[in-house]
Structure 1
Amino acid sequence: MQTVADLMTTQLVTLTSEHTMKNAHDLINKKGIRHIPVMDKTNSTMLGLVTQKVMISKVVGFISEFGSGHLLEKEMQTSVMDVAITDFERVPTSMSLKDAAEYFLKNKNGCLPVFDSENNLVGMLTSSDFVKLSLSLLS
């Protein structure tokens, strides 16, 4: 049985709660990623998850309320935790890929943070990982 540990991304790009929305926006653009874990700087606990979807919603809100000329200022003033999802699913490395795929279809989420038995974040499984798997199986 293949598990999420076989497919997940382990080279994670993270932020800490001290970062701003601007830092998250820059990482999304520079690295081409859509999901960024926010970690506690002191104990490496995952505090939240910033997604491209939430970021777009917040940017649109800022532009609607303050105008595009104030977007950069608002992003620099907004804590990354103000846009982070704090109620996120945690899955173990042993979860089957079948169960993970069913979760993605049912919940319409784009990623699943993967934790080891000691509750440490060890990877991220994304819907893109499944697309890559599909491509390799079709080749």
Structure 2
Amino acid sequence: MKQVADLMIKNVITLKENDSLATAKTLMHDKNIRNIPIVNDNGECVGMLTQREYLRHAFYLVSQFGTQQITKKEEQTPISKAMSKDILTIEPDIDLSTAAEFFIENKYGCLPVVENDKLVGILTPVDFVKLAHAMLIKTE
């Protein structure tokens, strides 16, 4: 295991820009995830919706419309209003140590993995913790 491709999650849960914040909220809750790559019809990663960005937009909606309207407003709000479009991606053939350094220095919650402009996976710090745990168990 030396490359991002060896550690990344390959079966990535994604949404589209026009999906609602309500859909994202449900998906994050049901799948226990904090980061959702946003893809276009060609499978290209065009953004990222993190739990933090979702919450920031949800608080904005509450401040504008009150708690009584939050569910309705989340259903009406496309992800494109809350997602980050300025994202960094990584390629699957990058060395894992390089990816680890990136997480250490930048404190990102995830990195979309792209190949030929298509989303092929996602890498998170939790993946590195799982790897470290497996290595610790193996050496005991």
Question: Is the shorter-chain TM-score for this pair beyond 0.5, marking a shared fold?
Answer: yes
**What CA distance in whole angstroms lies between the structure 1 residues aligned with 2:43 and 2:101?**
29
Please list the CA deviations of residues 82-113 of structure 1 after superposition, one character each: whole Å capped at 9, or x if unmatched: 11111111111111111111111111110001
| TM-score (structure 1 length as normaliser) | 0.92
2:89/2:114 contact within 8 Å kept:
yes
**Could you say which residue in structure 2 is the equivalent of 1:99?**
98
Q: Secondary structure at the match of 2:129?
A: helix
For 2:27, the equivalent position in structure 1 comes to 27
Q: How does 1:2-41 map to 2 (within 5 A)?
A: 2-41=2-41
In structure 1, distance between residues paired with 2:117 and 2:44: 8
Q: CA deviation at 1:66?
A: 2.6
TM-score, scaled relative to structure 2: 0.91
- Residue 77 in structure 1 maps to residue 93 in structure 2: no
CA distance in 2, matches of 1:119, 1:50: 18
Q: State the partner residue of 2:62.
A: 63
Partner of 1:130: 128
In the alignment of these two chains, the number of paired residues is 137
For residue 87 of structure 2, what is the aligned residue in structure 1?
A: 88
Residue 109 (structure 2) aligns with: 110
Q: Quote the Cα distance in structure 1 between the aligned partners of 2:47 and 2:16.
A: 9
Provide structure 1 residue ranges, at least 5 long, that are not aligned to the other structure: none
Cα offset, 1:44, TM superposition: 1.9
Q: 1:121 aligns with which of 85, 96, 119?
A: 119
CA–CA distance in structure 2, aligned partners of residues 3 and 68 of structure 1: 46
Q: CA RMSD in A?
A: 1.3
Q: 1:138 Cα deviation (Å)?
A: 1.6
3-state SS in 1 of match to 2:123: strand
Percent of matched pairs sharing the same residue: 36
Q: Tell me the distance in 1 between the aligned counterparts of 2:129 and 2:64.
A: 37
Q: Which runs of 5+ in 2 are unaligned?
A: none
